[in-house]
Amino acid sequence: MQYDVVVIGSGPGGYVGAIRCAQLGLKTAVIEKYKTFGGTCLNVGCIPSKALLDSSEHFHNAAHTFTTHGINLRDLQVDMKQMIARKDDVVAQNTAGITYLFKKNKIDSYEGVGSFVDKNTILVTKSDGSTETLSAKNVIIATGSKPTVLPFLPVDKKRIITSTEALNIKEVPKTMVVIGGGVIGLELGSVYARLGTKVSVVEFLPSIISTMDAGLGKELQRVLKKTLGMEFYMGHKVTGATTKGKTVTVTAETPKGESISLEADYCIVAVGRTAYTEGLGLEKIGITVEERGKKVPVNEHLETSVKGVYAIGDVITGAMLAHKAEDEGTYVAETIAGQKPHINYNLIPGVVYTWPEVASVGLTEEQLKEKGTKYKAGSFPFKASGRAKASMDTDGFVKVLADATTDEVLGVHMIGPRAADMIAEAVIAMEFRASAEDIARTCHAHPTYTEALKEAALAATENRAIHI
């Protein structure tokens, strides 16, 4: 079969890129090694984790805040089998949606492993060993990433597990150790902490969510400790883990060089993700991946060193985010079609789906200080928000950073209720190069959580927030 574009991988980058290619009139095919579309995000990442986060949040609220609302319940129990079944159904609905969209856009799909014969010929190797060859004018590599494993800490997928296995634990563990204080570790740790698990987080760096504004990590750690009883071992270097029966013992080195050990029912290894490029046959077309992280090198148009071969998403440099991959999929599709698309990588938001949620876009205070940029900061706490008081979600704050001279918004960082949704307002404002004054003078409905963003913008412009 001959195609204008063949996409290898059907995750958020791959399927969005394929759909945009088809919309632009390009004959398109997608190769997916698994039986369902959607990649890590839809199958074992974003979607199932959010399903469990929602379920566990309902249980936690029922157990801890419903009585304050005047709702009395007795004999609360977690039906883990049903919770997992609901998660699986959510995943099934979403992956079925991709199948529908492929059919709607007349995109051909092939199940198997895609690999290069040459830059215009792709071999599809199916699970039964049979093969099929596709011809392509352009190829988009969208094979995503896989959990990073530590060489001295073998994952047995039973007691020492990755995020994938953590989505299918059939009981509520009494204890759990999470190695890694990043997004994945904190989200999954939150799921089980809400259900009653004693969760300990071991992080090598001095702060959690270390890539985000320092104030966000400090506040999130405080809230997770207060509301969920999570323990944090910061600045600790994990040295190993062993399993005996149903108990995992994790050993670590403290900042002072002393050794400690933590016992738990499960240990989740969440130390990041590595680009997945195995089996692609990149060497056959002269592409060498980077030694660190196995990333595929690309130019400013996301084209590899081989003309007509592009790469997007987790397999290239940058944040490993589904929405980044989606934008890149659209970008490459429009580039192939001869258009002049644009991505502002500074305005790709980052989100942590704990509760409170954490969201950030643009530059952090630490980055502005490092660059020597003169800026002004305005902050507003949710404890002063009428809407947050009504919902008992008063932890957290919104911070707006603006240029000291021009007042242009340079960064917005928030931790609080529905921050994941609220950050979009900041992204749009910054995309149009809004000033803090622009946000401050935009009428926000009352009572809403987004008023906190307006108040923070007011605080950043002559310190004139109204409600604090």
Residues recognised as catalytic:
446
Rounded Cα–Cα distance for residues 102 and 467 (Å): 50
Q: Are 461 and 434 in contact (CB under 8 A)?
A: no
User: Which of these, 141, 138, 140, 115, lies nearest to 2 by C-alpha position?
Assistant: 138
114 annotated ligand-binding residue: yes
91 annotated ligand-binding residue: no
314 annotated ligand-binding residue: yes
24 annotated ligand-binding residue: no
236 annotated ligand-binding residue: no
Q: Are 369 and 353 in contact (CB under 8 A)?
A: no
Rounded Cα–Cα distance for residues 335 and 329 (Å): 10
Q: Which residues touch 354 (CB under 8 Å, ≥6 apart)?
A: 53, 186, 187, 190, 220, 224
Rounded Cα–Cα distance for residues 125 and 151 (Å): 30
184 annotated ligand-binding residue: yes
From residue 31, alpha-carbon distances to 132, 134, 213, 293, 364 in Å are 11, 10, 38, 23, 39
From residue 284, alpha-carbon distances to 120, 123, 135 in Å are 12, 12, 16
Rg (CA), the chain: 23
Rounded Cα–Cα distance for residues 320 and 145 (Å): 8
187 annotated ligand-binding residue: yes
185 annotated ligand-binding residue: yes
144 annotated ligand-binding residue: yes
| Tokens describing residue 212 | 């985000």
Rounded Cα–Cα distance for residues 459 and 276 (Å): 45
From residue 293, alpha-carbon distances to 75, 283, 316 in Å are 48, 17, 9
145 annotated ligand-binding residue: yes
Rounded Cα–Cα distance for residues 3 and 28 (Å): 6
181 annotated ligand-binding residue: yes
| Tokens describing residue 364 | 């952090």
321 annotated ligand-binding residue: yes
467 annotated ligand-binding residue: no
- Strand partners for 375: 403
- Which residue ranges make up the annotated binding site? 50, 114, 143-145, 180-187, 203, 272, 314, 320-323
Residue ranges for the known binding site for FAD are 50, 114, 143-145, 314, 320-323
Residues marked as binding for NAD(+)?
180-187, 203, 272
